[in-house]
Amino acid sequence: MLSSKQIQPPRLSIIVPHLNEPEDLARCLDALTTQRTDGTEYEIIVVDNGSAEPPRAVCAGFAGVRLEIEPLPGPGPARNRGASVATAPLLAFIDADCIAEPSWIHAIVKFMDNPAIDFAGGDIKILSREDRLTAIEAYESVYSYRAQFYVERQGFAATGNMAVRTEVFRAVGPFGGIGSMEDTEWGQRATRMGYRIGYMVNACVSTPSCKSFAELVRRWDRHVAHEYRQFRNRKNPTLIWTARSLAVAVSPAAEAIHILRSDRLDRLRDRWSALTCLTCIRLYRAWRMLRLLIDQNTDTLIAGWNRK
């Protein structure tokens, strides 16, 4: 006979989209399943999104992990699949390469006990591979996951660390496909509908930075392509886009003070590394933006980020 504890419905459904990252997924699931000791009932739903080999063995190695398959490409459709089979009144989204801090689940449930909050985002930090930060790690520590800024200034939560009431998610509708910035679009749609967003100070995850400059620029290719699609329908798009491109090229000079003041970095050499990487990536972005005026090739840039 099952005990009363075993038949309690989960308070939280955790959804993890996955694509060709079995080792990262194992670390993610280990961090999640070790939090079962705090008494919160939760389920974990991994949604594979076209991996060469679905992570059946990885998921089977952790108790209470359910594996779903979503053939439509993109993390948005994978998250939608997980949400569609979730059974809890709260949904939490985390990426397969993220590691949740030990109090992450408890912090989400406690924060969402506030009925004034409909959905929320938490902090995302860079997980360093060595004692000394690489230039890319230093740069991404400051610029890649500005979770509090996204929540408080832009009205959305990054889906690497997001919670939402299930009924709210279903009322707002699904995430977009790979051709959209799904977290930005969904969150801003929700706030326009009147749903209230909050920032979860105590719910933090960590994620590795891009492994190379080539990987970093592929990420920015996708952002630039999405932004360009929005600008094409504006009045005088070429003039505005050119001006923005030039502004991006000269922007590192203005960012030096921000890097010096950032609480994400401790050492002067890391701040210098961040500024160096920032300068390189901003110059690349400016070049890519101007190149789009010529070739208009947004589809290839957007599809290129999807991991193979």
Q: Is 186 exposed, middle or buried (0-12, 13-18, 19+ CB in 10 A)?
A: buried
Q: What b-and-e string marks burial along 18-45, b requiring 16 or more CB atoms within 10 Å of the CB?
A: bbbbbebbbbbbebbeebeeeeebbbbb
Could you tell me what percent of the chain has a pLDDT over 90? 74
Would you place residue 303 in the very low, low, confident or very high pLDDT band (cuts 50, 70, 90)? low
Would you place residue 305 in the very low, low, confident or very high pLDDT band (cuts 50, 70, 90)? low
Average pLDDT score over residue span 248-273: 93
Q: Is 167 exposed, middle or buried (0-12, 13-18, 19+ CB in 10 A)?
A: exposed
- In angstroms and rounded to an integer, the radius of gyration of the C-alpha atoms of the chain is 20
Tell whether the model's pLDDT for residue 130 goes beyond 80. Answer: no
Q: Which residue has the higher pLDDT, 212 or 7?
A: 212
pLDDT at 304: 61
Tell whether the model's pLDDT for residue 124 goes beyond 80. Answer: yes
Tell whether the model's pLDDT for residue 4 goes beyond 50. Answer: no
Would you place residue 222 in the very low, low, confident or very high pLDDT band (cuts 50, 70, 90)? confident
pLDDT digits (tens, 9 = 90+) for 94-112: 999 999 999 999 999 999 9
What average pLDDT does the structure give for the chain?
Answer: 91
Could you tell me what percent of the chain has a pLDDT over 70? 95
Q: Is 106 exposed, middle or buried (0-12, 13-18, 19+ CB in 10 A)?
A: middle
Would you place residue 211 in the very low, low, confident or very high pLDDT band (cuts 50, 70, 90)? confident
pLDDT at 2: 41
Q: Which residue has the higher pLDDT, 49 or 131?
A: 49
pLDDT at 238: 87
Domain spans in the chain, listed from the N-terminal domain onward: 12-208, 213-303
pLDDT at 268: 95
Domain covering 12-208 in this structure, CATH number: 3.90.550.10
Residue 227: alpha-carbon gap to chain centroid: 17
Tell whether the model's pLDDT for residue 86 goes beyond 60. Answer: yes
Query: Residue 180 and residue 223: Cα distance in Å, rounded?
Result: 9
Average pLDDT score over residue span 58-64: 94
Tell whether the model's pLDDT for residue 234 goes beyond 80. Answer: no
Please state the pTM of the whole predicted model: 0.87
Query: Residue 268 and residue 32: Cα distance in Å, rounded?
Result: 34
Tell whether the model's pLDDT for residue 271 goes beyond 60. Answer: yes
Would you place residue 5 in the very low, low, confident or very high pLDDT band (cuts 50, 70, 90)? very low
Tell whether the model's pLDDT for residue 7 goes beyond 70. Answer: no
Would you place residue 294 in the very low, low, confident or very high pLDDT band (cuts 50, 70, 90)? confident
Average pLDDT score over residue span 133-149: 92
Q: Which residue has the higher pLDDT, 233 or 93?
A: 93
pLDDT at 223: 83
pLDDT at 44: 98
